[in-house]
Structure 1
């Protein structure tokens, strides 16, 4: 079985599900066959894509225990691993979709609220590289250090704008431009 898995050119998701199912079917140990199947499935998947090191099949299948056992039983009755493979694909899809939703929610939650002045700064830098003085002139504000700390520094900290001379923040040649995240924010 492991020789087959090593030589097989099947997609790793399919191969991992088949290997898991076969360990369950062969039942080589008096105890722990399910854990061994899930372990090998996780190892094959993690070797294919590192995300599965963080989403182990043990956890995925634990969330779907009744369906997991039913899929094993149905596949055994049919003498066909297809039922189990379909269940595995469905469970993997659901967990990835859930992770993607969580990621989007996480990104949205951490997106900084910008003041009108900060939005004006981003718009002033839309297609230009400007000095500190030029930025404040473009938005019609006094460019003292308090205004800089209140309006420009948060944009730098959030990676929305960047310095043209980052190694020398106080250089008289310093200018500012939109970073990629700032370009995306301006599009919104």
Structure 2
């Protein structure tokens, strides 16, 4: 048993959220495992990658990320395109890693940051501070302390009997506090929490909680700062559990919406035959619809979100020449 125990105070909201998340994960596992098509898995993974990179100031949209992964030409910074390719390859390899193994952590960082920094796959050799603008938010421990700190943290993770929802959040915070790499710590912390959770319930490998974090970015950083000030992970654990719960609520809501619009999506697929690509106005004409907002909300968006149809030019989603076709995946 590891001697190290990260400081944490269990709170009533924390326990209530663990119960709520566990219940929703049970429902999601029961009803979504068979419904989680390869297209939907890929769509959720793309949303995860886009949001996690957006937190680190990558400007590519979901449509552009999709285009990059399909090998299409995208107008974007070469570094941002490389970040997307690396992140997708890293998440795809996630199933072969064990969260408590340092060799796997380093291999993940090597894949995630390949071609982006010189020391990908290695702990940093110098000091590092986390800044927002000119303001120092956190000074990470010196490089000389990294090996023992990471050894203790990973040893604790491998032997902890805490609920995976709690231990994954605690690890995420402690990892960000230690900041073991020269760059890529934020995306690695989020990736590793997903890995820990996916070992508990495989369906969580495809829950895009990063989208919630991206939308609440200021609260995410505030929770990290509050945990630093408190000297324990508690404020950050509460934030992350809330984010996980919200992501699950949104996933459930998507299921309900999908159920409600099944007839509309089925009609859309009827008029969009395999091998045919049509513009939005052509689809509306065939469906005998006059209201563009209704068409987009009830037909087009649900079909795109479910991975049933795709854009012919995802790099330019608002192009007047944009067409839609059945997905080939």
Partner Cα separation in structure 2 for residue 51 and residue 59 of structure 1: 17
The residue that corresponds to 2:254 in the other structure is: 102
The corresponding residue for 1:89 is 241
Maintained 8 Å contact 2:175/2:189: yes
SS of the residue 2:223 aligns to: helix
- Asked if the contact 2:223–2:239 (Cα under 8 Å) also holds between the matched residues in 1, the reply is yes
1:29 aligns with 2:185: no
Q: 1:5 aligns with which of 157, 164, 167?
A: 157
Deviation (angstroms), 1:40: 0.7
1:71 aligned partner: 223
Question: How much has 1:53 moved relative to structure 2?
Answer: 1.4
Cα distance in 2 for residues equivalent to 1:9 and 1:111: 46
- 1:166-187, Cα deviation, whole Å (9 max, x unpaired): xxxxxxxxxxxxxxxxxxxxxx
Alignment correspondent of 2:144: none
CA distance in structure 1 between the partners assigned to 2:169 and 2:210 by the alignment: 13
Distance in 2 (CA, whole Å) between partners of 1:52 and 1:72 is 23
1:1-188 matched pairs, under 5 angstroms = 1-110=153-262
Contact 2:208 2:247 in 1 (8 A): no
Which whole-Å CA distance do the structure 1 matches of 2:195 and 2:232 have between them?
23
C-alpha contact 2:176 2:185 (8 A) present in aligned 1: yes
Give how far 1:71 is off.
Answer: 0.4
Residue-by-residue CA offset, 1:134-166 (whole Å, 9 max, x unaligned): xxxxxxxxxxxxxxxxxxxxxxxxxxxxxxxxx
Q: Counterparts of 2:180 and 2:205 in 1: how far apart (Å)?
A: 25
Residue 56 of structure 1 deviates from its aligned partner by 4.0
The root-mean-square deviation of aligned C-alpha atoms, in Å, is 1.6
CA contact (8 A) 1:42 1:56 kept: no
Q: Give the whole-Å Cα distance in 1 for the aligned partners of 2:209 and 2:195.
A: 9
Larger Rg: 1
What is the deviation of 1:58?
Answer: 3.4
* 4+ long deviations beyond 3 Å: 56-60
Greater relative CO, 1 or 2 (CA 8 Å, sep 6+): 2
- 1:89 offset after TM fit, Å? 0.5
Q: Distance in 2 between matches of 1:76 and 1:56?
A: 26
| Contact 2:165 2:241 (C-alpha < 8 Å) held by counterparts | yes
What displacement does 1:24 show? 0.6
Structure 1 CA distance, aligned partners of 2:253 and 2:247?
A: 10
Q: Compute the displacement of 1:90 (Å).
A: 0.4
Shift of 1:59: 3.3
Contact preservation (8 Å) 1:35, 1:58: no
TM-score (norm 1): 0.56
